[in-house]
Structure 1
Amino acid sequence: MNRYLVMMFRRPQFDPAVVPQHQQFLETLRAQGRNEMSGPFGDKSGGAYLLRAASMDEALQIAHTDPAHTSGGWDITLYEWNAH
């Protein structure tokens, strides 16, 4: 599996009520061995997580089911990450 850095930034219409759903989504990914690490930015503008997937297409499919994305409250961008 490859690693993908999922960068998330809050939009003006961000709804704090979605945060627990997003956190549960990340916990589910962690239990599946797909989320290596995650966390918010110190300035509270968003956060990031390191996703494991077979391809960019699969990573996008997974990230686009994140409540942070489906709620419309965050902009999400993925980068294939060749970390060592």
Structure 2
Amino acid sequence: MLYVANLPIVDQELNAKVRPAHLDYINDLFLKGQVVMAGPFTDKLGGMVIYKAESFEEAKRLAEADPVIVEKARTLELREWNALELPLK
């Protein structure tokens, strides 16, 4: 299943400090096949990560271990996502 993490920034200064560790963490998970896609919103107020996991609990564990969440630079909203298979027939 896919899980979407919305990660609004709550502390810009702390976020800038923790961002390199966040990017390393997301990249490592991508290389392991546990992150499908990730990136910032253009308004610079946060970003999104799409996790691939066997359960909500696994996705939550991955998302909560992200350095920006651990350090409280961002908040986390995690939701299961049922992506459409396009094109529709």
TM-score by length of 1: 0.94
Aligned to 1:54: 54
Aligned to 2:2: 3
Rg (Cα) greater in structure:
2
Provide, for residues 42-83 of structure 1, a one-character-per-residue CA deviation record: whole Å limited to 9, x for no partner: 000000011001111111111110001001110111010000
Structure 1 residue matching 2:44: 3-state secondary structure: coil
Q: C-alpha separation between the residues in 2 aligned to 1:71 and 1:11?
A: 11
**Normalized per residue, which structure has more strand?**
1
Q: Which amino acid aligns with 1:9?
A: P
Q: C-alpha separation between the residues in 1 aligned to 2:80 and 2:61?
A: 14
Q: C-alpha separation between the residues in 2 aligned to 1:14 and 1:4?
A: 27
Q: C-alpha separation between the residues in 1 aligned to 2:42 and 2:12?
A: 20
Give the drift of 1:12. Answer: 3.3
Unpaired segments ≥5 residues, structure 2:
85-89
Contact 1:8 1:76 (8 Å CA) reproduced: yes
Q: In 2 relative to 1, CA 13–43 (structure 1 residues): closer, same or farther, beyond 3 Å?
A: closer
CA root-mean-square deviation? 1.1
The runs of at least 4 aligned residues of structure 1 exceeding 4 Å deviation read none
The 10-residue stretch of structure 1 (53-62 or 9-18) with the greater mean CA deviation from structure 2: 9-18
TM-score by length of 2: 0.89
- Residues matched between the structures, number: 83
